[in-house]
């Protein structure tokens, strides 16, 4: 098992497991977007090919077993051992299935925030154009966001959609359990986007009062699972819904008994299933989930690692003493109220991102936010060097 001290040293104790991504030789501060995959991920991809070559069309039994391992990994992260988990290639297709199950003709109102990732932002904006009443509550200040969302719920509201961690600012949204209770009281569905939480911020949904909530997320970012590994966690009331947008896998278990009449659905999460997919991603994800277990990379352990790394990045940034009108960060809350990356607000975010890339530091920018995303395989020395490169870029402006 790796210790936190071993992660802070140079070289980082985990770095050897990521040799193909050369994490020890590069300053990859894009961990909030695309983390490196451990070398063992390739074992999963090769195994997918070998199973297909050996079994041809009979490979699906083995592929479905890998999918079950991925579901088990997400259940563990959510603290939801009996949870119903639907899988998808991306969160958009899963959100679409969720939206298609709502009674939008009868309750044509959706409540969200203006700080949601583009998956929700764009789709909800398009629904607004199609005459759905979409209310976007300002995401800032995050401290009161859940309360302000609850105030917007009325008898016409079908669902509330909000992130657990805001993708631009890294702020954790507190009080989601209170919001969930308000939704429950009015028979409104609550969908929580957990993408920027899982792997960086523990999300034990029952402890947080989110047992009745839908949780969507994926492993492209902090979990290092790569593309094609997203999930939708279904609450109990999902068994009463009939989503419009599903694939033939949604009745896979009942095909032999199919009868004319209403479209049928399988049990549990099956009713939100899609159709034929590339199982390679699940093979890779199952192997990476196993690697995390082998290395002791639990949600609690990873949280301590990210708190240290983001704290160090924030301290090094403050030491630059850069003009606040040029670049600044949110100092209104302690680091414990932020997720797994540091967000710097600057009108020259894109320019600075490009300047950093030219200095060998990979970050990203979203609008006026320049985001530094560490990862557990980076050493303290690498983080300090990355902020030093930012200082050079700022002086060159």
> What was the pLDDT predicted at 371?
98
Buried b (16+ CB within 10 A) or exposed e, 195-214: bbbbbbbbbebeebbbeebb
pLDDT given at position 261: 77
**pLDDT, one tens digit for every residue, the chain (397 residues):** 789 898 899 889 999 999 999 999 999 999 999 999 999 999 999 999 999 999 999 999 999 999 999 999 999 999 999 999 999 999 999 999 999 999 999 999 999 999 999 999 999 999 999 999 999 999 999 999 999 999 999 999 999 999 999 999 999 999 999 999 999 999 999 999 999 999 999 999 999 999 999 999 999 999 999 999 999 999 999 999 999 999 999 987 666 566 677 898 999 999 999 999 999 999 999 999 999 999 999 999 999 999 999 999 999 999 999 999 999 999 999 999 999 999 999 999 999 999 999 999 999 999 999 999 999 999 999 999 999 999 999 999 9
Q: Tokens representing 278?
A: 């590339």
pTM: 0.96
pLDDT at 305: 98
Rounded-to-integer distance, Cα 282 and Cα 259, Å: 32
d(CA 88, CA 94): 6
* CATH domain 4-36+298-396 topology: 3.90.1150
- CATH number among 1.20.1080.10, 3.30.390.50, 1.10.565.10, 3.40.640.10, domain 43-289: 3.40.640.10
Domain boundaries, the chain: 4-36+298-396, 43-289
């Amino acid at each position: 098992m790796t210790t936190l001290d071993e992660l802070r040293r140079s070289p980082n104790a985990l770095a050897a497991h990521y040799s193909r991504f050369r994490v020890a030789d590069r300053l990859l501060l894009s961990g909030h977007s695309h983390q490196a995959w451990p070398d063992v991920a390739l074992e999963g991809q090769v195994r997918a090919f070998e199973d297909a070559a050996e079994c041809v069309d009979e490979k699906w039994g083995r592929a479905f077993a890998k999918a079950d391992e991925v579901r088990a990994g997400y259940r563990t992260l959510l603290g939801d051992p009996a949870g119903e988990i639907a899988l998808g290639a991306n969160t958009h297709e899963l959100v679409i299935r969720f939206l298609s199950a709502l009674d939008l003709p009868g309750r044509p109102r959706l409540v969200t925030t203006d700080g949601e990732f583009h998956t929700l932002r764009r789709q909800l904006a398009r629904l607004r154009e199609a005459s759905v009443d979409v209310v976007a509550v300002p995401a800032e200040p995050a401290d009161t966001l859940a309360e302000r969302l609850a105030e917007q719920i009325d008898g016409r509201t079908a669902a509330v959609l909000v992130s657990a961690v805001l993708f631009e600012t890294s702020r954790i949204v507190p009080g989601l359990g209170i919001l969930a209770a308000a939704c429950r009281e009015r028979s409104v569905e609550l969908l929580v986007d957990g993408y920027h939480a899982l792997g960086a911020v523990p999300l034990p949904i029952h402890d947080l009062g989110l047992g009745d909530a839908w949780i969507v997320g994926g492993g492209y970012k902090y979990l290092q699972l790569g593309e094609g590994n997203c999930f939708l966690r279904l609450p109990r009331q999902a068994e009463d819904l009939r989503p419009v947008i599903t694939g033939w896998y949604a009745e896979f278990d009942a095909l032999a008994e199919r009868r004319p009449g209403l479209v049928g659905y399988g049990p549990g999460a099956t009713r939100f299933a899609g159709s034929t997919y590339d199982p390679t991603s699940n093979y890779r994800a199952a192997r990476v989930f196993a690697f995390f277990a082998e290395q002791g990379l639990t949600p609690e352990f990873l949280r301590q690692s990210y708190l240290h790394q983001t704290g160090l990045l924030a301290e090094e940034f403050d030491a630059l003493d850069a003009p606040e009108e040029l670049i600044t960060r949110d100092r209104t809350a302690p680091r414990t109220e932020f997720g797994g990356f540091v967000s710097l607000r600057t009108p020259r975010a894109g320019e600075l991102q490009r300047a950093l890339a030219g200095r060998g530091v990979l970050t990203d920018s979203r609008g006026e936010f320049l985001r530094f995303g560490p990862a557990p395989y980076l050493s303290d020395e690498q983080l300090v060097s990355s902020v030093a490169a930012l200082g050079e870029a700022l002086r060159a402006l």
